[in-house]
Amino acid sequence: MHHTTDPNLMVNLKINGIPVTVPGGTLILDAAKKVGINIPTLCYHPDLKVRATCRICLVEFKGQKKLRTACSNEVWEGAEIITNSKIVRDTRRTVLELLLAEHKPDCLQCVRNTKCELQRLAKELSVEETSFISAGHSFEIEDQHPAIVRDPNKCIKCGRCVEVCQDVQQVSAINTAHRSAEFEIGTPYHQKLDQTTCVSCGQCIAVCPVGALYEKDDTGKVQTALDNPGIHVVVQIEPAIRVALAKEFDIMPGNITPGKMVTVLRRLGFNKVFDTRFMTDITSREAAYELFDRLCNNGVLPMLTSHCAGWINFMEKTYPEILNHLSTCKSPQQMFGAIAKTFYAEQSGISPEKIFVVSIMPCVAKKYEGARTEMSASGQRDVDAVLTTKELVKMIKHGYLDLAKLEESEFDDPLGISEDDMVICGSSGGVMEGAVRTVYTELTGYDLEQFDFEAIPDLEGAKEADINIAGQVLKVAIVDGLKNARVLMDQIKQGSSKYHMIEVMCCPIGCSNNVRQPFGTTAEIEAPIYQGHKSPAVLTLYGKFLGNPLGPKSQELLHTNYIPQYRK
């Protein structure tokens, strides 16, 4: 059989007798889509290396007895593929029944009920039960981890989580083990996740097709606080979360405005609703002064940002010898908690013990961060609960709220400070950009114009910029994804890093916690340039409470230390 992988050559083939022409190297799976045939898949994921192990996407090559997987075979000239012959249909059903036999059948209790790829497949193929016998195993569910729950009874061994952990993130906390009937996916020696190299990035949850991996559910804890009239529940939310929220409710993102989100949260019973972007401004300010201090006083460079929770876990476990490069700034989430239970408590006259701080984040690593025992600068836990977008969705659905019909509301003034110029102060470039602009203004007295990043050669997901500050060049870099970050960290270890500051986001496509696309930006509307250091609200907080950036109060509440968590 002749295969062509040259994408410059067009290939003519037939799928179910229908002629198709596609570039060489196209997968049969994708070629079929062109003629309106969506071959079902289970282990296949467009962002991950192909495994072809579930055997759901089988198709027939005309004249051959063995069926082939559409996810791993490319088209070739003259191919005749059949996607729906009797043998394909029968085999597909049998494979599905074999999977169902070893999959715990508790759909109604399962976190993925109605959102499960296995369930959807069974529905599509009208498979309501399996004719096969289960081995009857009952595996322990690991749910002590603050962020991630693992249920091996649901695992269908698709291996997507292994690919993302081993290959994409290169964290390698989970892997395959054993073979045959004992074949499993999990941690080495059945260690608890916390004992492994796991950084709680949650990418495994993001790719799991079933309910074998999911985030810890803290909605119960939050609801209990909301139901208690004696507890003052405050919540911070990143407005950009509305994109994911819109997807969950099947609404156009533009139809969920930040104002509607505020209303939703108030309707759910939150006493105060704050915009995270205010705290991002604080973080940027502290980081700016820290950078400034390091630049002027032979401090440790490059300085690494520290607002990504998964990134911190990764550094503590994998590069403990260069932890001193990390900024000591807490993340906006944690700073918010510390300020809420001190300054805000004072201003509002509510005792800190009665304040319950909730954070709504798109990321499970933030749950891990919120649970860190050292994050209690206020004298008690700074952040009481972190909810992911999915958990917020759950609460909205339990409240039977119709997002489309809600009115608009304003965020509460940041932590009690009157704010007139919120729009100008929206964080547009993330903590690092904010820090750089602050440093620029401090040193030159002027505002920094728009500056451009360029891709770093031979390093995926990374870009760099040179910023001229009064004749000196400040070199900065941004990198997404731990695999890519390793390259820059290895340079630091070898003493060959050329940067002064590096921002790292743990997940390959960044996250909306570090908004690079400013709120409101579209092709038509140009993003306002970040001017957080001019925010009256920020300046008020410093004037009334914190004193100077990096001052004693800031150090006490807004900065932290890191501890090597895992030594080889």
Partner 1 sequence: MCEQTKKVQSIIHKYDKAKGNLLSILLDIQEASGRNYVSQEHADIVACELGIPLSKVHDVLTFYAMFSTKPRGKHVIEICKSAPCYITKADAVVTMFEEALKINIGDTTQDNQFTLLYTSCVGACDIGPVAKIGDKIYGDLTKEKIQSIVVSYREVTECPK
Partner 2 sequence: MSKIMQLISANCGKIPPGSVADYVQFGGYEALKKAFNMQPIAVIEEVKKAKLLGRGGAAYPAGSKWEQLFEIEHFPKYIVCNADEGEPGTFKDKLLLSQDPLRVIEGMTIAGYVFGSHDGYIYIRGEYRDIQRVFQTAIDNAAEAGFLGDNILGTEFSFRIHIMSGAGAYVCGENSALLNSIEGKAGRPRIKPPHLAEVGLFLMPTLVNNVESFANIPVITLLGGEQYLSYGTNDSGGTKLVCLSGHAKKRGVYEIPFGITLRDIIYDPELGGGITGDKNLKFVHLGGQSGPCGPAALLDTPYCYKAMRSNGLSVGSGAVVVMDETVCVIDYLKCVTEFFIHESCGKCTPCREGNKQIYHILCSLSDGQATKQDLQTLNKLTDTMTCASFCGLGQTASVALTTCLKHFKAEFEAHISRECPAGVCNFSKGRGE
Q: Which spans of this chain sit near partner 2 (rule: CB under 8 A)?
A: 3, 50-55, 58, 65-67, 72-74, 87, 90-91, 94-95, 98-99, 101-102, 131-133, 135, 157, 159, 176, 178-183
Nearer to partner 1, 162 or 371 (CB): 162
* Contact between 173 and partner 1 per CB under 8 A: yes
Those residues whose C-beta lies under 8 Å from the C-beta of residue 285, and which sit 6 or more positions away, are: 434, 435, 438, 532, 533, 538, 542, 549
CA 432-435-436 angle, to 5 degrees, is 85
One of 189, 405, 423, 509 touching partner 1 (CB under 8 A): 189
Which span (183-191, 206-214, 421-429, 530-538) binds partner 1, by CB under 8 A? 183-191
Maximal C-alpha separation, the chain: 80
Tell me, by CB under 8 A, how many residues bind partner 1.
16
Those residues whose C-beta lies under 8 Å from the C-beta of residue 549, and which sit 6 or more positions away, are: 285, 286, 288, 289, 290, 542
Helices 242-249 and 389-398: crossing angle in degrees, nearest 10, is 50
CA 75-77-81 angle, to 5 degrees, is 55
Residues pairing with 213 in the sheet: 150
Peptide bond into 146 cis (omega under 30): no
* Contact between 164 and partner 1 per CB under 8 A: no
Task: Build a one-symbol-per-residue string for 479-508: x at contacts with partner 1 by CB under 8 A, - elsewhere.
Answer: ------------------------------
Minimum distance from residue 87 beta carbon to partner 2 (Å): 7
C-alpha 265, offset from chain centre: 22
Residues pairing with 185 in the sheet: 176
Which span (179-187, 203-211, 367-375, 556-564) binds partner 1, by CB under 8 A? 179-187
State the number of CA atoms in the 13 A half-sphere of 554 facing the CB: 21
* Contact between 438 and partner 1 per CB under 8 A: no
Binding to partner 1 (CB under 8 A) within 197-236 occurs at 197
386: exposed, middle or buried (Cβ count in 10 Å: 0-12, 13-18, 19+) = buried
Nearer to partner 2, 29 or 273 (CB): 29
Residues pairing with 455 in the sheet: 463
Nearer to partner 1, 189 or 446 (CB): 189
Which span (54-62, 177-185, 231-239, 456-464) binds partner 1, by CB under 8 A? 177-185
Residue 73 site contact among partner 2, partner 1, none (CB < 5 to 8 Å, cut-off depends on kind): partner 2
One of 22, 174, 357, 448 touching partner 1 (CB under 8 A): 174
* Contact between 188 and partner 1 per CB under 8 A: yes
Name residue 43's amino acid.
C
One of 95, 177, 244, 527 touching partner 1 (CB under 8 A): 177
Nearer to partner 1, 123 or 178 (CB): 178
One of 169, 196, 306, 535 touching partner 1 (CB under 8 A): 196
Nearer to partner 1, 189 or 400 (CB): 189
Minimum distance from residue 183 beta carbon to partner 1 (Å): 9
80-82 and 67-69 strand pairing: unpaired
Contacts 24+ apart (CB under 8 A), 416-423: 416/343, 416/344, 416/347, 416/348, 417/537, 417/540, 417/541, 417/544, 418/537, 418/540, 419/278, 419/535, 419/536, 419/537, 420/536, 421/535, 421/536, 422/275, 423/528
One of 12, 38, 176, 548 touching partner 1 (CB under 8 A): 176
Residue 272, H or E segment:
strand 272-275
* Contact between 7 and partner 1 per CB under 8 A: no
Nearer to partner 1, 27 or 173 (CB): 173
Residue 132 site contact among partner 1, partner 2, none (CB < 5 to 8 Å, cut-off depends on kind): partner 2
Nearer to partner 1, 178 or 354 (CB): 178
* Contact between 568 and partner 1 per CB under 8 A: yes
Nearer to partner 2, 54 or 339 (CB): 54
Q: How far apart are CA 355 and CA 339, in angstroms?
A: 11
Which residue shows structure tokens 């993003």? 527
Residue 568 site contact among partner 1, partner 2, none (CB < 5 to 8 Å, cut-off depends on kind): partner 1
CA 321-434-261 angle, to 5 degrees, is 105
Which residue shows structure tokens 């193929």? 125
One of 178, 192, 398, 544 touching partner 1 (CB under 8 A): 178
* Contact between 405 and partner 1 per CB under 8 A: no
CA 233-239-241 angle, to 5 degrees, is 95
- Positions that interact with partner 1 (CB under 8 A): 166, 172-179, 182, 187-189, 196-197, 568
